[in-house]
Amino acid sequence: MTASLTIEDLHFAYPDGREVLHGVDLTVGEGERVALLGPNGAGKTTLVLHINGILHAGSGSGAGTVDVAGLTVNPADRAGIAEIRRRVGIVFQDPDDQLFMPTVAEDVGFGPANLGLKGEELKQRVDEALAAVGMTEHRDQVPHHLSFGQRRRVAVATVLAMRPEILVLDEPSSNLDPASRRELADILRALPVTVLMVTHDLPYALELCPRSVILDGGRIAADGKTADLLGDAHLMRGHRLELPFGFDPAFAAARLPST
Amino acid sequence: MGAGHAHPLHLDHDSRVHRLPAEVKIVATLLFTIVVVITPREKFVAFAGYLLLLVGVLVVAKVPPGWLAKRATIELPFVLLAIALPFAGHGERVHWLGMSLSVDGLHGAWNIFAKGTLGVLASLLLAATTTARDLLLGLDRLRCPQVFTQIATFMLRYLDILADDARRMRVARLSRGYDPRFLWQVKAFAVGVGALFIRSYERGERVYLAMVARGYSGRLPRPEGTGATTADWVRSATLPIAAGVIALVAVLA
């Protein structure tokens, strides 16, 4: 199995001196679905923004390397960064931040158009991405008029249209009603891409990601099977992670479709 | 062309005017308005002719007159200004119903009223037959600088969200017993406006981040699609040309 993402000894401190990452090491294999767990302020968002080179050693002070499918993130290399941003599709938490074009189809086409696609090819990418999230019939609608769950799905489509190597989702289940949550899970499970999912929603992590890593204090504190991590009460408590009331990870894990 | 972004000035149905590409309608409206504005104010017949032309467009576009009239009330503040002119004007005066009115002021008032109304009606007809999105596409095809169309595109997308934010903040204020009656109670509202500004500013940063993450490098992709055909241009040119002929005839007569 080749690695979609390799992070080695990543350190980072913001210009105001706030140190966030203290040597993160993480490897995600091709096609894997990994949940990135951790309490607020653990550095999850900072880590995510390093993966596509929006943050880098130069934007604060840091060290270490990030490698996406064999290409090292190097902010000095403009063409390289453009390719990295194609390979890493980030779905941000608030779909209203991500969807800014007047219609759904135009928004989905924004990324591929930045890659230089035009005409029929562009249209095909848009159709394909919208079909993957089941939003084809809404292509000409205004994003504002969609439901929250639909907007989240369109946000996923906007990065799928770039045919990413790895899909990074920031809190994909937040603000979704249970039905939209399940629909999104079905969509994500069917996608043939590597997924890194940042979330506080532990049942969702268990449902979707066979493997989880816990980021705390700027380091990877634990890395293993999601069911094992969630089942380790001592570990969980140590990193301010709590399961919802009445949720039994062992029971839920046994009911997963297949692992 | 992309489906409509609903705005209160747009009348969502199909007609020959609705089907024309936005750019030809923009140019026609602009030229028509210019002809109206440069017509000397004493040529009363010409203005009647212009109005007839607009009525013609209204009929072809199948816009209900009442619907248009209601929206034309936006002009009222300017008309009120015009009403003051005959009283405040100088020079030769006429007496009518016991009022002393300035002839020059009457002409001035007529000038504002006639030209303003025709301009407003023409713009409203443009808005009624074109979605906001198509207007922007049209401006873009007319080589309007991308900075303007980009800003307007973002505004189109985020105005609703901003209004929603403002509404939610207002409801939250009201829910905590805020009921401003006097000027000095306006502070919470003012602070709310400030908070809205900061929220929008921060959203701007997040939107930019999300755009950069999708490879944005300073240029929005140009919307695709075919532009106007010669037939479209000819069809829409009838309005300004007819207006021009009326103006010429009125001035030469």
Across A187-191, A238-242, B88-92, least confident range: B88-92
* 3-class secondary structure, B113: helix
* Residue spans of chain B under pLDDT 70: 1-7, 175-180, 184-185, 223-226
What confidence tier does A67 reach under pLDDT thresholds 50, 70, 90?
Answer: very high
How far, in Å, CA of B91 to CA of B47, rounded? 25
Chain segment B50-98, per-residue pLDDT in tens: 999 999 888 888 888 888 888 888 888 888 888 877 777 777 777 777 7
Residue to mutate among B214, B216, B220, with most A CBs inside 10 A, is B214
Q: Please tell me the distance in Å from A242's CA to the nearest CA on chain B.
A: 29
Q: Provide the pLDDT for residue B157.
A: 79
Q: Provide the pLDDT for residue B223.
A: 67
Decide if A97 and B224 are in contact by the 8 Å CB cutoff.
Answer: no
Amino acid at B95: H
- Tell me the chain A residues in contact with residue B154 when contact means C-beta distances shorter than 8 Å: 100
Q: Provide the pLDDT for residue B5.
A: 46
N residues, chain B: 253
- Tell me the chain B residues in contact with residue A54 when contact means C-beta distances shorter than 8 Å: 209, 212-213
Q: Provide the pLDDT for residue A214.
A: 96
- Tell me the chain A residues in contact with residue B165 when contact means C-beta distances shorter than 8 Å: none
What mean pLDDT value characterizes chain A?
90
ipTM of the complex: 0.70
A83 touches chain B (CB under 8 A): no
Residues B25, B126 contacting (CB under 8 angstroms): yes
Nearest to B206 among A94, A143, A159 (CB): A94
Q: Look at A196 and B131; give whichever has higher pLDDT.
A: A196
Decide if A143 and B157 are in contact by the 8 Å CB cutoff.
Answer: yes
Amino acid at A91: V
CA A65 from chain centre, in angstroms, equals: 19
Give Rg (Cα) of chain B: 23
For residue B221, CA distances in Å to A104, A107, A110 come to 14, 10, 7
Q: Provide the pLDDT for residue B177.
A: 64
Q: Provide the pLDDT for residue B227.
A: 73
A92 touches chain B (CB under 8 A): yes
Q: Provide the pLDDT for residue A101.
A: 82
Structural domain A3-254, CATH architecture: 3-Layer(aba) Sandwich (3.40)
Instruction: Note the maximum CA span of chain B.
Output: 72
Cross-strand bridge partners of residue A213? A36, A223
- Rounded to 5 degrees, what angle do the CA atoms A222, A226, A228 make? 75
Q: Provide the pLDDT for residue B94.
A: 77
- Could you count the other beta carbons within 10 Å of the beta carbon of residue B93? 16
Q: Please tell me the distance in Å from B147's CA to the nearest CA on chain A.
A: 15
Decide if B2 and A96 are in contact by the 8 Å CB cutoff.
Answer: no
Q: Provide the pLDDT for residue B4.
A: 41
Decide if A82 and B209 are in contact by the 8 Å CB cutoff.
Answer: no
Q: Please tell me the distance in Å from B7's CA to the nearest CA on chain A.
A: 12
Question: And the tokens for B127?
Answer: 């808005």
Q: Please tell me the distance in Å from A247's CA to the nearest CA on chain B.
A: 34
Q: Is the pLDDT of residue A68 over 80?
A: yes
- Could you count the other beta carbons within 10 Å of the beta carbon of residue A214? 22
* Signed CA dihedral, A158, A163, A169, A173: sign only: positive
Spell out the domain ranges in chain A.
3-254
Across A7-16, A240-249, B137-146, B168-177, least confident range: B168-177
Nearest by Cα to A19 from A61, A59, A52, A50? A61
Amino acid at B121: L
Residue to mutate among A97, A99, A147, with most B CBs inside 10 A, is A97
Across A135-139, A231-235, B16-20, least confident range: B16-20
Q: Provide the pLDDT for residue A182.
A: 93
Q: Please tell me the distance in Å from B213's CA to the nearest CA on chain A.
A: 6
List of E strands, chain A: 3-13, 19-29, 33-37, 61-68, 71-72, 88-91, 166-170, 194-198, 211-216, 219-225
Q: Provide the pLDDT for residue A107.
A: 87
In sequence order, what are the residues at sequence separation of 6 or more whose Cβ sits closer than 8 angstroms to the Cβ of residue B139?
B22, B23, B26, B148, B149, B152
Chain segment A108-135, per-residue pLDDT in tens: 988 888 888 888 999 999 999 999 999 9
Q: Look at B79 and A26; give whichever has higher pLDDT.
A: A26
* 3-class secondary structure, A94: coil
Decide if B209 and A88 are in contact by the 8 Å CB cutoff.
Answer: no
A141 touches chain B (CB under 8 A): yes
**Single pTM value for the model:** 0.74
In sequence order, what are the residues at sequence separation of 6 or more whose Cβ sits closer than 8 angstroms to the Cβ of residue A150?
A135, A138, A180
